[in-house]
Structure 1
Amino acid sequence: MTTRTIALVFHRLRPNAIALARDVAAWAQQSGCKVVCDESDVDAIAQGGHSHLTASSSFRDADLLVSVGGDGTMLRAVHSLNGTLVPVMGVNVGLLGYLTNVEPEMALGALDQWLRGTEGTSFHYDDRMMLRVSIQNGSTKQSWLALNEVVLEKQQSGHTVRLGVDIDGTHFVTYSADGLIIATPTGSTAYALSARGPVLSPRLNALLMTPVSPHMMFDRSLVLDPREEVIVEVMGQRPVEIAIDGVAVHTLLAGDRVSVLAATERARLLRFNDNRFHQILRSKFGLADR
C-alpha cells in the first residue's frame, strides 16, 4: 500500500488548534501516513512529542492538506498550494466557518473516512473557482491567486479613491469609493457580503464586482461572465492598497492597472456531507422558520 502524505496547516495563536494539530499528527503516524508541515510550524507540533514530522516549503506532492483553524487558516492553506489541485480539509476552530466544514470532535473520524473510504461514498471533492490577479510594472509582472476576493481599497482615512474599470477592453465606469471588491462566488459570503453584495452559490462560475461605500448614484454590485477580464486603473493621486484574500500584497499608485480574470486553477475542498449551500447559510445565519 502506498504511503499517503498529509500536509498540516494550523492557527499558530490558538492553543486548541495546536493541540488538535498534534492529535492529527499522532493519528497520521499511527495510520502509516507521512506528515509534512511548514518549517515555522515544526517546533509547535514537535513539542507534543512528534519528532517524525517532515519540514517542507511545498505541499504540492501531498495527498491531503489539513487546515486547523478558521476560514483565514483555510485561505492560508489554499494559498500554500499555489494552484496545485491537492484536496484541503478544513477543521473549524474559528467562528463562522464558511469554508471549514469539519468540527474538531469529528476530525479524526473524518480523516479515517478519507483514508479508508472512496470518493463519492464516504466523501466528495468540491472544486471552487479562483481569481488570477496580475499587475504589470514595466517589464515586471506580479501575479496572485485568490479564492475569496481581491480588494482595492483606500489607504488614507477620510478620503475616497477613484478607480476606473474596463470590462473586456471597454470602459464601464469610474468609481469614487472607499474601495472595490472583485470576488468569486465563494467570496460572496466574505467581505463582499458586508458591502451589501449578493450571495452567490459556489457552484456558479462568475465574477462579482462590489463597490465599497461608493460616493455616486451607481452603487450596485455587478455579476460578470467568468470569461470577461476586468481591468482596474488608479485614476487619482491617492495610493490604493491591494489585498488578496485579506492579505495586503501591494500599493498601487496613479496609473497602475490591475487585471482580474477567472483562474484556470481551482481550489479543491474535501467534504463529508451533502449539505446544500442554502442549508449552510441557514445554519450560519441562524435563519428561523416563519
Structure 2
Amino acid sequence: MSDVAVLAHVERAEALAAAKHLIEWLERNGHSVVLPPGEAAVLGRTELSDDDQLVNGRAALAVSIGGDGTMLRSFDMVAAAGVPVLGVNVGHLGYLTEFEPPHLIETVAAALAGDLGISERMMVSANVQRAGDRDAGRRAGESDAARGAGDGTDEVSMWTGLNEVVVERRDPGHTIRLEVSFDGDVFATYAADGLIVSTPTGSTAYSLSAGGAVVAPTHEALQVTPVAPHMLFDRSLLLPAETEIGLRVIGERTALAAVDGRSATRLHTGDELIVTRAPYQARLVTAGADSFHRVLKHKFGLKDR
C-alpha cells in the first residue's frame, strides 16, 4: 500500500468534493493519505495534515485537484523530493491538469499500479544578489525582510518554479531598466514593463501572452521574453538550458520578482536576479507522449482539415 498526498483548490466546491471522494477510496483500499494544512482544515481531516511528509517525499504520488495554479503549488511542495504529480482538472482547460474528475479513481489506481507514464520537466531557479554584497546575497546593514516589506515577500534568497521567473515594474505607467547578461557577459539593457525567463513548460503561460514561442514541454531550454519592451529589439530568445541569466536593475525604479506567480522579492538599483535551471526536475503523471499536442490543439481551437 502507498502513501498518497492529496492537494485541492480549497475555493472550488467540485475540487473539494473530488478530494473527499478520493480520500475515502484511498483509505478503504489500505492507502495512507497526507494533506497540506489548508486542505486538512477545510475538509475537516486535520489528523491527515503533515507538511514534513510532503516535503520529505515519503508519498508515492501526489494528486492535484484544481487547475494549473494548484499544480504549480503541488510541484512547489513535492518536486524537490521527486514525488510525481497527477493533475485532475476542475477548472478551465489547463496544460498541466490532464485528467478529468469522472475518471479520478481509475486514473489514480492506474498511477499507483505503475500503468501511467511520467514526464520529466525541467524547472527554473532564481537567486537574488544584493548590490554592494554579492557574496552574502544581501545589502550590508539591511535585511531582505526590510527591503521587501510591504510587498508580500519573505526573507529567502532563492526560489524554484516550474513555469517562469518574472521581473516586472512596481509602479504603473513606468518602465524598468534591466541589464541582461548570459553566463556573465552583458547582452543588452532592456527598457520594458518586465522580463520573463520561462521553462518549456512555462512557454504556454505568461511568456505566450507576451509573444514568446510555444516550446515542447520535454525540451530543455530557457526562454527570455520581454514584456512590452520600449526598444527596437523585442524578440524572444531561446537559450541553452545550462545558461546562467543575470537580470540586474539599473536606474532608480524598483522592480518586483515573482516565481510561478508567487511574489518573491523587491529588487532595488544594482540588485541582480540570477536565473538558472533548477537542480531537480518536476515529475508529471501523463497518459501518453502526445497529450501536450492534444491540449494545445484544443486550447487554440485548431481543426483537422
Tell me the TM-score normalised to structure 1 length. 0.93
1:168-247 correspondence to structure 2 within 5 Å:
168-247=183-262
Q: Could you tell me how far 1:71 is from its partner in structure 2?
A: 0.1
Give unmatched runs, 5+ long, in structure 1.
none
Alignment match, 1:32: 30
Match of 1:45 in 2: 43
What percentage of aligned pairs have identical amino acids? 42
Q: Which residue of 2 aligns with 1:105?
A: 102
Q: What is the 5 A alignment of 1:1-290?
A: 3-46=1-44, 53-58=47-52, 59=54, 60-81=57-78, 83-115=80-112, 117-118=113-114, 122-137=115-130, 138=133, 139-140=136-137, 142-290=157-305
**1:219-239 CA distances to partner (integer Å, 9 max, x unpaired)?**
000000111100110012111
Q: Work out the number of aligned pairs and report it.
A: 280
| TM superposition outliers: structure 1 runs of 4+ over 3 Å | none
Superposed displacement of residue 84, structure 1: 1.5
SS in 1 for 2:105: helix
Please tell me the root mean square deviation across aligned C-alpha atoms, in Å. Answer: 1.4
Moved more, 56-65 or 134-143: 134-143
In 1, are the aligned partners of 2:63 and 2:87 still within 8 Å (CA)? yes
Counterparts of 2:49 and 2:61, CA distance in 1: 16
TM-score of the aligned structures, taking structure 2 as reference length:
0.88
Q: Secondary structure at the match of 1:35?
A: strand
Deviation string 1:105-158 (CA, Å, 9 cap, x unpaired) is: 11111011123x33xxx2110010001110123424711111000000001111
Residue 270 (structure 1) shift: 0.8
Please list the CA deviations of residues 12-63 of structure 1 after superposition, one character each: whole Å capped at 9, or x if unmatched: 11111111110110111011100001123212222xxx67x52111312111
Asked if the contact 2:63/2:85 (under 8 Å) is kept, the reply is yes
Identify the residue that residue 148 of structure 2 maps to in structure 1: none
Q: Is the 8 A contact 1:82 1:145 kept in 2?
A: no
Instruction: Name the CA distance, whole Å, in 1 between partners of 2:232 and 2:219.
Output: 28
SS in 1 for 2:216: coil
CA distance in 2, matches of 1:20, 1:65: 14
- In structure 1, how many angstroms separate the alpha carbons of the residues matched to 2:92 and 2:263? 22
